[in-house]
């Protein structure tokens, strides 16, 4: 496992773990790696975007210094959703892109996500090579001088190309739809309302300030209650809630019910299946998705394939096998025909288009999904490291799997960030799930404390 890179780039408390000094090094090493295949006579350029976080300017300055110091020019895209950076990086003549964001995390956190020149997130192997450069070879990297030093271009206006692209994926009259939009005071604050207004949607927008002290604070996809209340009180057709960098989205139906990523994937996959647009009749998701999703798609002659947790692993599977729809329960949905990463704004536009074409309410479309009962628990422990070697825990897991049977599942893992063992049990017999959730939690507590 990488020291710096997690499942979605480098993250930490800005100026504490994620310092400008570290970001400068990451830019130097990452820039050196990304420009290795470029022609010696061309000036390599990289895109940088950011969300509204207060620490964004500081980390952007460190990235610019790092890239410029190895002879790379920088295009500053300013405040832009993560999927906007991915899209523009593929379309512009650049060697890569970087997004400064910690997504749905609290204000104090920030993060650095890299994209290659085709707009894809970097592979584990590439991240490991960049890390090796930081740890072992940073002092040996060439520092160009004179006219070879990198410079900065302001390219905020390029965001219009992303807006136009999202709009180009649908056509029709949306003027009779009423929508509540929550921008989480994040990267979507300007772009998302612009797109929906251009579709002539009757729009009520909240939390759309460029105020980094309010990003994700009691708003957005992690707190959709405000949207839910507004939808009910204003008689809107649906609510849309983005996270801080707008790579994910959660919906609210006209009755105020939350519609999660599994239901969104179900609705979109079935629509694409009907129109013969779901490649190889397959949806890619992770093991956190409810088994009801698999059951539904199989009943319609399609299938679900599972990838490792994290939207870049979903994408990796999609690219390897030639699939075009994938995502996560958390609301990261990837429409590979249109973008190379989870895109909350694009997903919203696609779902609104389905509602318009079918002339059905979101609550009605959501009924296709029958959720299997699920039991989740996070057991606090002192010693999470070697839980897999514990005989009693393994025996209990084996017994649980045997009784819950082939159709259900038992999933146990250590949290990557907290002193916690996470449990997920799923099946059609809720009593059985309750019984085993209690037994497993008790054994884990006794053995790992």
Give the separation between CA 103 and CA 328, rounded to whole angstroms: 15
Q: How many beta carbons lie within 10 A of that of residue 276, not counting itself?
A: 8
Sole residue written with tokens 């049990």:
425
User: Could you give phi then psi for residue 433, rounded to 5 degrees?
Assistant: -65, -45
**55 is annotated as an active-site residue:** no
User: Could you give phi then psi for residue 105, rounded to 5 degrees?
Assistant: -70, 165
User: Could you give phi then psi for residue 292, rounded to 5 degrees?
Assistant: -60, -30
Which conformational region is residue 158 in: left (phi greater than 0), alpha (psi within -120 to 50 degrees), or beta? alpha
Biggest distance spanned by C-alpha atoms of the chain: 72
Q: Name the DSSP letter for residue 53.
A: -
Of the candidates 69, 101, 103, 289, the residue annotated as catalytic is: 103
Which conformational region is residue 144 in: left (phi greater than 0), alpha (psi within -120 to 50 degrees), or beta? beta
Q: Please list, in sequence order, all residues whose beta carbon lies within 8 angstroms of the beta carbon of residue 342, skipping any fewer than 6 positions away.
A: 82, 83, 247, 248, 311, 327, 328, 331, 332, 333, 334
Helical packing angle, 159-168 and 191-198, nearest 10°: 40
Residue numbers annotated as active site: 103
């Amino acid at each position: 496992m990488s020291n710096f890179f997690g499942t979605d780039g480098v993250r930490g408390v800005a100026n504490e773990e994620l310092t400008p000094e570290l970001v400068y090094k990451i830019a130097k090493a990452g820039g050196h790696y990304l420009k290795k295949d470029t022609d010696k006579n061309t000036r390599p350029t990289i895109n940088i975007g950011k969300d509204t976080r207060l620490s964004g300017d500081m980390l952007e300055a460190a990235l610019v210094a790092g890239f410029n110091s190895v002879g790379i020019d920088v295009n500053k895209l300013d405040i832009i959703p993560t999927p906007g950076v991915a899209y523009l990086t593929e379309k512009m003549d650049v060697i890569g892109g970087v997004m400064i964001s910690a997504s749905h995390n609290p204000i104090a956190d920030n993060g650095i996500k890299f994209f290659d020149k085709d707009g894809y997130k970097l592979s584990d192997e590439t991240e490991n090579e960049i890390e090796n450069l930081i740890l072992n070879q940073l002092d040996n990297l060439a520092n160009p001088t004179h006219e070879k030093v990198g410079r900065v271009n302001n390219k905020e206006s390029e965001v219009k190309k992303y807006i136009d692209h999202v709009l180009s994926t649908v056509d029709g009259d949306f003027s009779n739809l009423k929508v509540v939009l929550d921008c989480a005071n994040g990267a979507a604050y300007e772009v998302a309302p612009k797109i929906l207004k251009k579709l002539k949607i009757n729009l009520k927008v909240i939390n759309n300030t460029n105020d980094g002290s309010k990003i994700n604070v009691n708003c957005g996809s992690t707190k959709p209650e405000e949207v839910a209340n507004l939808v009910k009180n204003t008689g809107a057709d649906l609510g849309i809630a983005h996270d801080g960098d707008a790579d994910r989205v959660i919906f609210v139906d006209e009755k105020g019910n939350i519609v999660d990523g599994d239901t969104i994937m179900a609705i979109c996959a079935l629509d694409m299946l009907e129109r013969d647009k779901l490649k190889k009749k397959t949806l890619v998701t992770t093991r956190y998705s409810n088994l009801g999703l698999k059951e539904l798609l199989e009943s319609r002659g399609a299938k679900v394939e599972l990838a490792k947790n994290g939207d870049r692993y979903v994408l990796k599977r999609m690219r390897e096998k030639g699939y075009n729809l994938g995502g996560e329960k958390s609301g990261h949905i990837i429409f590979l025909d249109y973008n190379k990463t989870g895109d909350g704004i694009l997903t919203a536009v696609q779902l609104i288009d389905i509602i318009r074409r079918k002339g059905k309410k979101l609550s009605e479309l959501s009924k296709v999904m029958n959720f299997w009962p699920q039991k989740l628990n996070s057991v606090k422990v002192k010693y999470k490291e070697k839980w897999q070697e514990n005989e009693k825990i393994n025996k209990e897991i084996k017994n649980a799997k045997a009784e819950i049977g082939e159709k259900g599942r038992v999933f146990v893992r250590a949290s990557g960030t907290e002193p916690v063992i996470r449990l997920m049990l799923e099946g059609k017999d809720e009593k059985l799930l309750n019984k085993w959730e209690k037994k497993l939690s008790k054994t884990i507590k006794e053995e790992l404390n």
